[in-house]
Structures are given as C-alpha cells and as structure tokens.
Amino acid sequence: MLIALLVAIGGYLTYKSEVLNPKIQKGSSSQIPNQEKQTDQPGETVNPYSIAMLRKRPYDGGKIATVRQAAQTTRFTSYVVTYTSDGLVQYALMNVPKGQVPEGGWPVVIVNHGHITPEEYSTEKSYINTSAYFANAGFLVLKPDFRGHGNSEGQAERIVSRVLYAVDVLNLLAAIPTQTSANAEKIYMYGHSMGGDVTLRVLEVSDNVRAATLWAPAVSDWPESMLHFSRRNRNRPERLPTLEAELKENFKPEEYSGISTLDNTQLVKSPVNIQHATTDQSVPFEWGERLADKLKSEGATVNFFRYPGDNHDIAGNWSTALNRDIELFRGN
C-alpha cells in the first residue's frame, strides 16, 4: 500500500511538472505522463488539455528578448527573439517595419506555420515570404517556432502537440505588451494547415485577436485531424501506432469533443478568412468548407475563398490571398 501511494504521488508530480511548468527537452520520451483530471463542476472532471481548461489557466510569456539581428531590407528589420512558454525557452522571428512608429505601435500579425519536420524547421527561413509580405504592409510580424522546432525547447509531434503549440502562442500573446513598438490592442493571426488548427484553438481561448486568417485549415473531428496525416505518411509508419497509444492512454472518447477545435467553434468571436484550394493535395478541401459552414451557422463573421485548381500553399493565388487578409486586418 505504501509503495502504491508513493508511485501515485510521483506520477502526480511528474504530470504537474510537464503540463503546468513543463521542462521536457527535445530527445526526451514522447510518453505523456498520466493526467490528473481537474474538477469543473461537482462530480465532474475535465481533461487538462481541453479548451475549457485552457480558457481558465493563466498565460505569461515573460519578456520578448532580442537574440540578434537576422536580416534587413529597405522596408523592415528581422530579429531572432525569445520568450518563455510554461518555463520553456521559445524562439521566434520578429519583423519590425521601418519608419515612423504609428501612435500606439505597429499592428501585429502572428504567423502560425504549418507542419514542417521539426529537425528541418528554420526560425529564419521557414515561412519567410509570408512573414515578409505582412511586414512590407506595415505589420510587426511574430512567427513562433512552436516547442520542439528549431532551437525552441520542448517536444514536438505528440498527440497533444497542437494543443501545446496553441499554449506557446497564447504565452506569446501575453508577452506582446513588453515589445514597446507593438500595438497590443491590434493583434491579428495567420495560420496555415496545422497552424490553422493552432490559430482556431487560440481564437476559442482568447479574445485578444481582432481577426484571423486560416489557410487550408487542418481542422476536422479530433483526433482524426491529427491521425489523418499519420495514416498517409508512409515514410514514417511508426508515427500512427505511437499516436494511437498516447491517445488511448490519456483520453477517453467522451473527452474528444472538449479537445476538438471543430466542436468548440461557438467560442470564436473574431472575424475570419478561410482560404482553401479545391485541389489541395494535403488538407481535404471539404474540411475548409465544413469549418466555414459551421462557423457561419453559429453567427461568426466568415469570408470563405476557394481557389479552383490551386495547391496546398495557394501558390497560384498567393498574393491575392494575402491581400485579402491584409484588407480584413486593416478593417478590424
């Protein structure tokens, strides 16, 4: 009995150290510690990864600190910066427009990237063109790595990674007031593919984003929105059984809807662009259509743009799509 009690206490402390103040480094085990369910109503428990619990917890990204200047153009200067997310040091690219800072500071666009193999991701090079486009339009741009990518601490590609990436973004949101040239009252968000799901989760947790755009959003029923891509990835056959094992160990089917961004769209209050190519080879076009219809049915302001014959990156209509986003942001 005493041994069992000690084991239980040890598991509790392990869970607390990761979920509330995680210190998991890249290369550590992908196993999620046993969760202690938290009480929401008398006799009811709520999974700590649920959107309901994310809405209740605090966020503090500390101070956005400049590591070094990365590049410079005639229109903006790029910096590698850091902030903290639940005790983990996170890196981001920050593009600051040149010229007279407007009253209140530069409006901010957070760029949430799509899936890139974590070892191949680059703070300075990944999504560099999208980040530059917004900076050229007069927005201060912050492009967070997400934990486990590049030099950012933590672990990537777990069954709950998109939840934890959203936590990283929410902590970054909390840190924006420490950047004196940024207007913390005018924050906007771009999310592509996986980053679209991350962005949607942020919109369901926080009211601090004035408008957002979701490109080819990888949003479907949870956990299918995660497992779908592992089923298709023949180069990494071990991924699917790993994710399925984590899912079985840490979640009950009745908890899925509490985690799902698709099932919590009623919480979205900000206007949204959804942009999707009809021949997207990665995220099914029907996913974007379904999300747009669901948001509209719940009273959200949604602009749905379809691009016939284009690809996952909307490459053939890239500038048109971004200009539509800039128009949305400037109007809100």
Question: Using one digit for the tens of pLDDT, what is the confidence trace for 81-106?
Answer: 999 999 999 999 999 999 999 999 99
Alpha carbon distance 136, 74 (integer Å): 9
Strand residue runs (E) in 139-268: 140-144, 182-192, 211-215
Q: Tell me, what's the pLDDT at 39?
A: 54
Whether residue 271 is preceded by a cis peptide bond, meaning omega within 30 degrees of 0, is no
Average pLDDT, rounded, for the chain: 89
Positive or negative, the CA dihedral 309, 223, 109, 25 is negative
Between residues 76 and 20, which one has the greater pLDDT? Answer: 76
In percent, the amount of the chain with pLDDT more than 90 equals: 81
Residue linked to tokens 């410079």: 72
Tokens of 267: 């919480």
Q: Which domains does the chain have, with CATH numbers?
A: 61-330 (3.40.50.1820)
Alpha carbon distance 187, 80 (integer Å): 20
pLDDT in tens, 23-39: 334 433 333 333 455 55
φ and ψ of 305, to 5 deg: -115, 125
CA 294 from chain centre, in angstroms, equals: 20
Q: What is the mean pLDDT of residues 136-152?
A: 98
Cα–Cα distance list, 26 to 88, 120, 150 (Å): 11, 14, 10
pTM reported for the whole predicted model = 0.88
In percent, the amount of the chain with pLDDT more than 70 equals: 86
> Which of 107-111, 189-193, 237-241 is predicted least confidently?
237-241
